[in-house]
Structure 1
Amino acid sequence: MTTEQKELVRGTVPILREHGVALTTYFYDRMLTHNPELRNVFNSANQRTGAQPTALAMSVLAYAEHIDNPSVLAQAVSRIANKHVSLDIRPEQYAIVGKHLLASIGEVLGEAASPALLEAWGAAYGQLADLMIGAEAGLYSATVAKEGGWSGWRPFSVQRKVKESEEITSFYLYPSDGGKVADFLPGQYISVRLFVPKLKVFQPRQYSLSCAPNGEYYRISVKKEQGNRERPEGFVSHLLHTRIQEGDIVEVTPPAGDFTLDLSKPTPLVFISGGVGLTPFMGMLEYLIQSGKGMARPITWVHGCRGYAVHAFRDTVRELSRSHGAMSVHTFYDRIEKETEDDHYEGYVDLNKVKDAIVPGADYYICGPGVFIKKHFEYLRAKGVEPQAIHFEEFGPAILVVK
Structure 2
Amino acid sequence: MLDDKTIQTVNTTAPVLQENSHDIGVRFYELLFSKAPSLYNIFNQTNQKRGNQQDALAHSVCMAGEHIDNLDAIKGMVERVTEKHRALGVQAEQYPLVGETLLEAVQDVLRHKVNEEVIGAWAKAYQAIADIFISIESNLYEQVQQQEGGWTGLRSFYITKKVRESDVITSFYLKPQDGGPLPTYQAGQYITLQVDIEGDTYAHMRHYSLSDAPGKDTYRISVKREDQTEELPAGKVSNYLHRTSEGDILQAAAPAGDFTISTELMPLVFISGGVGITPMMSMVKTILDQQPEREVTFIHAAQNGNVHALKEDLQALAHHNVTCYTCYATPTDEDYQAETFDKEGYVDLAWLQSILSDKNKDFYFCGPVPFMKSVNDALREWGVPAEQRQFEAFTPLSTIE
For the aligned pair, the TM-score class normalised by the smaller chain equals: over 0.9
Amino acid corresponding to residue 12 of structure 1 in structure 2: T
Q: CA deviation at 1:358?
A: 5.2
2:339 is aligned with 1:313: no
Counterparts of residues 332-343 of structure 1 (less than 5 Å): 332-337=327-332, 338=334, 339-341=337-339, 343=341
Counterparts of residues 26-175 of structure 1 (less than 5 Å): 26-175=27-176
Amino acid corresponding to residue 322 of structure 2 in structure 1: M
Cα gap change, 1:138/1:358 in structure 2, threshold over 3 Å: closer, same or farther? farther
Q: CA deviation at 1:240?
A: 0.2
Q: Residues 366 and 392 of structure 1 are in contact (CA less than 8 Å); yes or no, is this contact kept in structure 2? A: yes
Deviation digits for residues 138-171 of structure 1 (CA, Å, limit 9, x no counterpart):
2212211211111111111111111111100011
**Which ranges of 4 or more aligned residues in structure 1 deviate by more than 4 Å?**
none
Residue of structure 2 equivalent to 1:346: 344
Cα gap change, 1:236/1:68 in structure 2, threshold over 3 Å: closer, same or farther? same
Deviation digits for residues 169-209 of structure 1 (CA, Å, limit 9, x no counterpart):
01111111110111001111110110133432111000000
Partners of 2:257 and 2:58 in 1: how far apart? 22
Partner SS state of residue 318, structure 2: helix
Partner SS state of residue 142, structure 2: helix
Q: CA deviation at 1:237?
A: 0.4
Q: Residues 273 and 368 of structure 1 are in contact (CA less than 8 Å); yes or no, is this contact kept in structure 2? A: yes
Q: CA deviation at 1:111?
A: 3.8
Q: CA deviation at 1:360?
A: 4.8
Residue of structure 2 equivalent to 1:385: 384
Partners of 1:235 and 1:342 in 2: how far apart? 33
Partners of 2:245 and 2:82 in 1: how far apart? 32
User: How many correspondences in the alignment?
Assistant: 396
Q: Residues 329 and 343 of structure 1 are in contact (CA less than 8 Å); yes or no, is this contact kept in structure 2? A: no
Partner SS state of residue 326, structure 2: strand
Q: Residues 210 and 219 of structure 1 are in contact (CA less than 8 Å); yes or no, is this contact kept in structure 2? A: yes
Q: TM-score, normalised by structure 1?
A: 0.94
Partner SS state of residue 255, structure 1: strand
Partners of 2:160 and 2:60 in 1: how far apart? 39
Partner SS state of residue 167, structure 2: coil
Equivalent pairs: percent with the same residue?
38
- Could you tell me which runs of 5 or more consecutive residues in structure 2 were left unpaired when the two chains were aligned: none
Residue of structure 2 equivalent to 1:356: 355
Partner SS state of residue 287, structure 1: helix
Deviation digits for residues 331-385 of structure 1 (CA, Å, limit 9, x no counterpart):
1112222224375221122342243335453211000122211211121122222
Residue of structure 2 equivalent to 1:209: 210
Q: CA deviation at 1:9?
A: 1.8
Q: CA deviation at 1:43?
A: 0.2
2:300 is aligned with 1:299: no
Q: Residues 227 and 234 of structure 1 are in contact (CA less than 8 Å); yes or no, is this contact kept in structure 2? A: yes
Deviation digits for residues 13-65 of structure 1 (CA, Å, limit 9, x no counterpart):
23223211101111011101211000000000000000001111211111121
Deviation digits for residues 251-288 of structure 1 (CA, Å, limit 9, x no counterpart):
1111111111122x112110000000000111112222
Partners of 1:394 and 1:139 in 2: how far apart? 21
Q: TM-score, normalised by structure 2?
A: 0.94
Partners of 1:38 and 1:57 in 2: how far apart? 18
Q: Residues 303 and 331 of structure 1 are in contact (CA less than 8 Å); yes or no, is this contact kept in structure 2? A: yes
Partners of 1:358 and 1:59 in 2: how far apart? 37
Partners of 2:158 and 2:58 in 1: how far apart? 38
Residue of structure 2 equivalent to 1:275: 274
Q: Residues 195 and 205 of structure 2 are in contact (CA less than 8 Å); yes or no, is this contact kept in structure 1? A: yes
Partners of 1:111 and 1:294 in 2: how far apart? 59
